[in-house]
């Protein structure tokens, strides 16, 4: 199949016009200019970009990974252009954690998600955010081994607080198991964060959120994560978690190849205001902002990747929006053959209209309904 469009971002280059030839689940070739043959599908006034990759998402469309409803979450975000995602779990009791990991291991093997992200339970109670602080604990080798066994190779990333007792050994154990280690929900100082990076941590979980703020006398984890070229930082560019001007500043400082946009979306994404739960924690959503009930604490987001793509395209460039929503998260997670429109890569692409709204989505060579085809509404 040949797909042509007024604009296509091909392997980081903005081509006007551009085209992509697919066969089955893969891209055969792509390029700038007119297509090499009559296109099977032509999108005038549209932009073709790689499918979005969300490395931090808990739910959407009224459903949550913690409730074992992987298909509903994946289908909702697919309509908004996310063709690849990690299923993020929040802090839970040991038995509940193992059960959720086993369920999501099946979802990973079926191809519904690209792996599991454990955001907890090895986090700092002082920076618990929307996690249940009573269930947080220091990493213990026996629990780590049990979790890895239950996952059977499907855990792709784990977020932990490096100041906790046993964290150094935990980082080594996860890296030995080819799991990406992220620093987050932490009260660590600059030196402790640098130590975690030296041991193999390569991601900063939702930079600025759930960690001490940058201070000129006590730089803390933020400066350590920003200044080390080995680290990819997550940003929740929803206009709530991080001010857009801060997003712009980080992009200018680091460049888009070190910034991965993430939604940190909960079940409320696309489902409206109301009462929800994130694991054991009650959440209220008002005017699209999720907070822990009765507190000012932000509790994940109601955003989708296409919204954040539009924000970065406005703040910076179309190419930067593509890099931060596709190529950078793919590289950070070690997802080969994903995140670019390039020969040999997976046939995952998003067609955006002139307003950068999702028009059509291709996942593994198959066209799927977009958000424009219908939305999820609360009954």
Is 376's pLDDT higher than 50? no
From 88-97, 190-199, 362-371, the region with the lowest mean pLDDT? 362-371
Q: What is the pLDDT of residues 89-110, one digit of tens each?
A: 999 999 999 999 999 999 999 9
Mean confidence (pLDDT) of the chain? 96
3-state secondary structure of 195: helix
pLDDT the model gives residue 286? 97
CATH number belonging to domain 2-49+342-373? 2.30.40.10
CA torsion angle for 312, 315, 319, 324 (degrees, to 10)? -30
Return the HEC string of 103-168: HHHHHHHCCCCCCEEEECCCCCHHHCCCCCHHHCCCCCHHHHHHHHHHHCCCEEEEEECCCCCCHH
CB 322 within 8 A of CB 328: no
Averaged pLDDT for residues 208-224: 96
Averaged pLDDT for residues 44-56: 98
Residue ranges at the known binding site for Zn(2+): 119, 185, 206
Averaged pLDDT for residues 179-201: 98
pLDDT the model gives residue 372? 74
The edge-to-edge listing of strands for the beta sheet with 155-160 is: 52-57, 82-89, 116-119, 155-160, 180-183, 203-204, 232-235, 259-261
CB 5 within 8 A of CB 46: yes
Is 375's pLDDT higher than 70? no
Give how far Cα 194 sits from Cα of 177, 202, 212, 232, Å. 21, 11, 15, 14
- Give me the helix-helix angle, 244-254 and 305-315, nearest 10°: 70
Averaged pLDDT for residues 328-350: 97
Residue ranges at the known binding site: 119, 130, 185, 206, 209-210, 217, 241, 298-300
Q: What is the pLDDT of residues 273-315, one digit of tens each?
A: 999 999 999 999 999 999 999 999 999 999 999 999 999 999 9
CB 342 within 8 A of CB 20: no
Match domain 52-333 to its CATH number in 3.20.20.140, 3.40.50.300, 2.40.50.140, 3.30.70.100: 3.20.20.140
Is 218's pLDDT higher than 50? yes
pLDDT the model gives residue 377? 38
- How many C-beta atoms lie closer than 10 Å to residue 355's C-beta? 7
Question: What share of the chain in percent tops pLDDT 90?
Answer: 94
CB 217 within 8 A of CB 134: no
The DSSP code sequence of 15-55 is ESSEEEEEETTEEEEEEESS-SS--SEEEEEEEEEEPEEEE
Averaged pLDDT for residues 106-129: 96
Give how far Cα 54 sits from Cα of 113, 126, 210, 218, 333, Å. 10, 27, 19, 31, 10
Is 246's pLDDT higher than 70? yes
pLDDT the model gives residue 325? 98
Question: What share of the chain in percent tops pLDDT 70?
Answer: 98
pLDDT class for 67, splitting at 50, 70, 90?
Answer: confident
Is 78's pLDDT higher than 50? yes
Label residues 236-254 b or e (16+ Cβ within 10 Å = b). bbbbbbbeeeebbebbeeb
Pairing of strands 13-15, 26-32: unpaired
CB 120 within 8 A of CB 92: yes
| Ramachandran angles phi, psi of 77, nearest 5° | -70, -30
pLDDT the model gives residue 373? 66
Q: In 3D, which of 254, 263, 259 has the Cα closest to residue 233?
A: 259
3-state secondary structure of 251: helix
Residue ranges at the known binding site for substrate: 130, 209-210, 217, 241, 298-300
Residue whose token pair is 């400082």:
253
pLDDT the model gives residue 31? 96
pLDDT the model gives residue 347? 98
Is 228's pLDDT higher than 80? yes
- Which residue numbers are catalytic? 264
Residue whose token pair is 């080969």:
336
- At a CB cut-off of 8 Å and minimum separation 6, what does 321 contact? 49, 309, 310, 312, 313
Alpha helices (H) in the chain, listed in sequence order: 70-79, 94-109, 141-151, 167-176, 190-199, 220-227, 244-254, 305-315, 318-322, 328-333
- Per domain, the residue ranges of the chain are 2-49+342-373, 52-333
- Give me the helix-helix angle, 141-151 and 167-176, nearest 10°: 30
């Amino acid at each position: 199949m040949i797909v042509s469009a007024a604009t296509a971002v091909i392997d980081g280059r903005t081509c006007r016009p551009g085209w992509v030839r697919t066969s089955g689940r893969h891209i055969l070739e792509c390029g700038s200019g007119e297509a090499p043959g009559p296109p099977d599908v032509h999108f005038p006034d549209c932009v073709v970009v790689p499918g979005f990759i969300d490395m931090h998402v808990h739910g959407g469309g009224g459903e949550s990974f913690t409730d074992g409803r992987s298909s509903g979450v994946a289908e909702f975000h697919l309509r908004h252009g996310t063709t690849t995602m990690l299923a993020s779990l929040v802090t839970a009791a040991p038995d509940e954690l193992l059960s959720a990991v086993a369920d999501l291991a099946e979802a990973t093997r079926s191809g519904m998600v690209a792996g599991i992200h454990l955001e907890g339970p090895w986090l700092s109670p002082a920076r618990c955010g929307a996690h249940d602080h009573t269930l947080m604990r220091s990493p213990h080798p026996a629990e780590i081994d049990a979790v890895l066994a239950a996952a059977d190779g499907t855990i792709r990333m784990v977020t932990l607080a490096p100041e906790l007792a046993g964290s150094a050994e935990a980082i080594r154990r996860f890296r030995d198991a080819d799991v990406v280690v992220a620093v987050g929900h932490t009260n660590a100082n600059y030196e402790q964060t640098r130590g975690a990076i030296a041991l193999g941590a390569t991601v900063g979980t939702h930079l600025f959120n759930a960690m001490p703020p940058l201070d000129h006398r006590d730089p803390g984890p933020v400066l350590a994560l920003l200044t080390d070229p080995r680290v990819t930082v997550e940003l929740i560019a929803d206009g709530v978690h991080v001010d857009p001007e801060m997003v712009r500043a980080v992009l200018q400082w680091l460049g888009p190849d070190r910034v991965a946009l993430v939604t940190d979306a909960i079940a409320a994404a696309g489902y409206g205001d109301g009462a929800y739960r994130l694991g054991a924690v009650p959440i209220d959503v008002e005017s699209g902002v999720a907070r822990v009930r009765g507190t000012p604490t932000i509790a994940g987001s109601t955003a989708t990747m296409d919204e954040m793509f539009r924000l970065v395209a406005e703040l910076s460039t179309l190419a930067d929006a593509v890099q931060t929503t596709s190529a950078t998260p793919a590289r950070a997670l070690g997802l080969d053959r994903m995140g670019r429109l390039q020969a040999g890569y997976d046939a995952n692409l998003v067609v955006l209209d002139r307003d950068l709204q999702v028009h059509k989505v291709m996942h593994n060579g198959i066209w799927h309904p977009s958000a424009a085809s219908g939305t999820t509404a609360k009954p």
